[in-house]
Structure 1
Amino acid sequence: MKLKKKITSLILCGAIILGSINFAFADGSRVVTLGANLSKEQRATMLKYFGVDENEVVIVEVNNQEERKYLQGVATEAQLGKKTFSCAYVEPTKPGSGINVKTANITWATSSMIASIMSTVGIEDANVVAAAPFPVSGTGMMTGIMKAFEDATGEPLDEEKKEIASEELIITGDLADDIGGDSGQDKATGIINDIKTEIIKNNTSDTIQIAETINNVTNNYNVTLTAEQQKQIEDLMAKIAQQEYDYNSIKNALESVKENVNDNLIALGEINPGFFDSVKNWFSGIGDWVAGIFEGNKDLGILENTNDSLLGENAQIDATDKEAINLPSSEEVEGFFTKIWNWFTGLFNNNDSSNSESNYETEQNLETPIVEDNTNNIDENSQSTEDDNTSSYESNNDNSTENNNSEDHPEDTINTVQ
């Protein structure tokens, strides 16, 4: 009897240990998917961009046939194309981490759009980088993300949710194109994400209530849908309503997408934040700044290991967390805090003449407006340098405009590459 108990205990302990090992492996696995039509040099570039060695990660190819598995009948032939170049790097993270996405050279879908669609497919916690060596539409990257996540966790995603997510990608992208302008992608993402949030949160399945939710949300974004768009979104939301999502499990992901969209629309002048929202954001920013001093830099996982310079100066970079874009060097961070400290300590040394002179120089470095009475003290050399800098700035702007005009447009790219 005692022997039986000991054997049972050993079996249970072994199961617990094995379970822990499997969980740790799944949580720590990183998988890279590469477009099957990349050249050997392009494959090498993408691995360097992701900051990985070929022997450090699992590499999986994604081809156009796999892309068509979920998009056939939903996307047009022009959208599907014949080749797949987009890539994805996926890192499952611990529960509660949420969804963090960075994109590079993906023109048809923003990072927020991808994050919202990932919540639809059932992914709750992951870091994702979707990229290509040159601008592509990116319709194939969602297939890559799903495939990579399944390989990384060892668990298959629900096939029906994968189909719904792929349909959501096309509907959101088409709506963004129809809305147009700089805010098209953000408005389309916000509309679909907000409607989906309301449907899941309120367990809405009635077709009339779904239609009313769609109308309310689109009115908030000042967007008028065509009858065809209305029907497409109604059908999509009816499918989502049947999946019985756990709102609490994907709440953070949905709310994060909404915040990112609102921030982008505010920056574009499409939304005017209220006074109290502005105050709240200001205090929130101060809190994040102070927390960063004591806790160190935020851990962005694989998002901060990318090498954006490898894709060229004109690479289109986007991320759900803006800290993953143009990350400052340690020297730049140190220089910023040095300026702040010098300015702060200078406030308490105004009676010291030598410090007063130092404070004046520091204030000029912090771009404090020059008092009119001191204007005559500016020497001719400084004025000449300022004029030269202005001229150089205007010249660079002209060159930048020419470069932007010469770039391929997403609508041109979508017909050839994914």
Structure 2
Amino acid sequence: YLASKSYNSCYAPLKFLDALFRGYGQVVFANNPISGVIIFIGLTFADPQVSAAGLLTAIVGLFTSIAVIPQPNVIIISGLTVFNPLLIGLVTATALPHSYGIQLEYWHFFLMILASVVSVYVTSAFENILGSVSRYPLPYLTVPFNVVQQLLFLVLLTATSGGHVTSQSVTMATQAYTEEAAVVSTLSPGHIYSDNNVTRDMLTDYDGAATNHSARNEADWGGVFSGIVLSSSQVYAFNYAPTAVLIYIALLLYSPITAAFGLLGAVIGTLTGVLLTDPGSYAESGGVYDGSWGFNGMLSSMCLGGLFFVISWSSTLAAVLSAIFSTVLQYVLISPFAQGKLVPMSLPFNLSALLFLCVTTSRGLARPQVVSFPEKHRLEHKPSQEREASASDEMNKDLENAKKSLQTEDV
């Protein structure tokens, strides 16, 4: 109903809020304003300041796509111009104080706003690029966020160091950072948690836990379960169990199939993280136990499991393989990114999902005509399958009749 209304009408505030909260849900492929509101509540409950930063950048991104560089209405009303700017605000506000030790100041918010505006331009560019490089148009996912966010971190780190960067200082900083890599290199911006409503660095809390894991040299399966649950909140750079549960609920309300694939991907990613890392090391086990090894797998699984591919055994296998591959990519990218005091964030998910979406086959990996939600894709795909089967049967009958007529003529 709101889609048919103009932003110049009295429905403009409702249209704006609808698109805004759809953007919150679009981070986890839930194109539903109710799911978005639930997620927003979860983020605000966990950390009001970080949530406010995300809300600010989300509003800026949406306004930019409406008034500055108007985007197609179907993209705006679906919240697709919101989720990349939203992530910029959330990740920046989380990472600066907790991963880089930089206290948030007013000029940081100005840079977040600027980055949000730039991300809309980058989003439009990637939409055109990815829409033309493959037989099937590819979604831009969170590629714009990953590009703009990494550049923003590099700008902030350079500005914090006084802007004087020489080859010697870079070498010294790299050496010093490499020495701390066992603790820092695997930390994502969301490696924080809330205890009695006080958010603090996980390093302090896991000091003793790391010693225990090292002594046992085995995974803490209770911690692994915790990592599976927390994977959903790590998508938003949060590490807070109530928020994670609310995100799963929001997914369930939108699409039970998407929620199931999200949980499956979180399990696969977390278990792959256990296999790839040393349980005796804090940097590795901490990442496994706080969901940082699960969120890329979760996103990959949801992306392919019924959303951009119609749900089937073939698409389920693709979702599982993509979840594993994205986690392996995360493992490979951690070290090179650490050299620049950066983390891969959701880049592994983007690379893996886009690669699998380029796969073509004669059958099995069917694509929906219009992307909506998995249950609808499945219902719409059944009649087309029946029509194809009917057409195939008719063709076979025609061939048989033609053969019979030829045999009759020969006689």
Structure with the largest fraction of helix: 2
Q: TM-score, normalised to structure 1's length?
A: 0.29
TM-score normalised by the chain length of structure 2: 0.29
Find the structure with the greater CA-based Rg.
Answer: 1
Going by fraction, where is strand more abundant, 1 or 2? 1
Higher relative contact order (CA 8 A, sep 6+): 1
